[in-house]
A = this chain, B = another copy of it.
Amino acid sequence: MKLEVPGFVAGAVAAGIKKDGKKDLGMICSEVPACAAGVFTTNKIQAAPVLLGKERIKSGHCQAIVVNSGNANACTGKRGIEDAEAVSRAAATTLGIPEELVMVASTGVIGLHLDLNSIEAAMPGLAGHLNAAGLNDVAEAIMTTDTFPKTVSKEGHVVEKIFTIAAVAKGAGMIHPDMATMLCFVCTDIAAEPHFLRRVLNGAVQKSFNAITVDGDTSTNDTVLLLANGLSGLHLKEASIAAAFQSALDEVLFTLALQIVKDGEGATKQVSVCIEGASDEGDARRVAYTVANSPLVKTALFGEDANWGRIMAAIGRAGVPVNPETIDISFGNVYVVKDGQGCGKEAEGDAAAVLKTDHFTITVSLKMGSGTATVHTCDLSTDYVRINAAYRS
């Protein structure tokens, strides 16, 4: 399906922010002012564009997004805020729209001031590049350590009308996703009130990006923006439309979340950690995150070793009540632990075959209650260390 939404144009250029001359400045623009909702990092250290964006999104309206890679504009003080405002002003002037309707986002190295001259000089060319299929260029322009652009689109059909959602995302630092910038921009032609759009977006983020991220652990720049320009004529105030849209948006964000996991820095495998039978959902999430973030579990996954002892140890330190004697663990359909004890060499041999695949599920059954949770993660490879030891060089 095409990455296009009626009434939206987008594009990207190389403004010279990235050293390698690749695309680094993107823009998304709606023909008409759109209803808008955003979700931002909960990190206490917030980048200038996040601080600015959180203020502007309060109006519930937005018409254009400008995003740069190569420089996070984080830890840049008052000048950082002024730079972010200057970028939005340049975009507003070029597009002929009110500055308050422009949102900015940045990703890249922390602690450097933006090269405003380059960005302002590139703005007219960028505006001239905007086209209906331009979201593909934006997806490319926001890549940092990402190895592929992340895009998805979806149509929904309600009462003989069609709505469309198209979205782009970036993010590839999945070992501790909190530290890697996660950006996501979603365009749709649904009509909505801001407060309702916020609720729909929060619901979808909870089930997608927050299922690959430890709660409250976010980078200085994480931003998810949803722009709804209403051109489909379908309005979220109708329950059947709201239900169809929520379902479509859930799917769109979940698809992007899995693309981010798949592109985890140095990752060779995508692994879903499913916890069943916890006392409640909160406990299930804590256990899932503890297992999914354990470096020793992740290195064993990289080594294709059914080392369930490390999973047991992670379960035991998650800080929730467990009974060691009732825990089952399986890789795919292969049980390696039943009631807290290993199932033997043969089972581990069968599990090793599962571990050799590039996408599988680890299921842990605690038999304490009915709480369940799933977290999606990847393995920890030597390449992860290489990538992150050399990132700024």
Contacts and interface: CB of A to CB of B under 8 A. Distances in A.
A391 to B, nearest CB: 7
Contacts of A392: 300, 305, 307
A310 B179 contact: yes
B388 A385 contact: no
A161 B186 CA distance: 76
Contact of A75 (B180, B217, B342): B342
Given A179-B294, A294-B176, A75 B312 contact: yes
A321 interface: yes
A43 interface: yes
Interface string A365-393: 00000000000000011101110111111
A288 B307 CA distance: 30
A313 B112 contact: no
A287 B392 CA distance: 24
Interface in A327-366: 337, 339-342
Contacts of A173: 296
Interface in A307-327: 307-310, 312-319, 321-322, 324-325
Contacts of A178: 313, 317
A216 interface: yes
A279 interface: no
Interface in A82-130: 109-112
A296 B295 CA distance: 12
A317 B216 contact: yes
B43 A316 contact: yes
A256 to B, nearest CB: 22
A313 B179 contact: yes
Contact of A305 (B176, B180, B220, B389): B389
A242 interface: no
A76 B322 CA distance: 16
A145 to B, nearest CB: 11
B110 A310 contact: yes
Contacts of A312: 45, 74-75, 110-111, 220
A151 interface: no
B111 A308 contact: yes
A129 B316 CA distance: 37
Nearest to A218: B317
A148 interface: no
Given A45-B313, A307-B391, A309-B110, A175 B218 contact: no
A77 interface: yes
A44 interface: yes
A29 B109 CA distance: 57
A128 to B, nearest CB: 34
Contacts of A218: 317
A385 B391 contact: no
A316 B47 CA distance: 11
6 closest A-B pairs by beta carbon, nearest first, are A110-B309, A303-B389, A45-B316, A299-B388, A111-B342, A43-B316
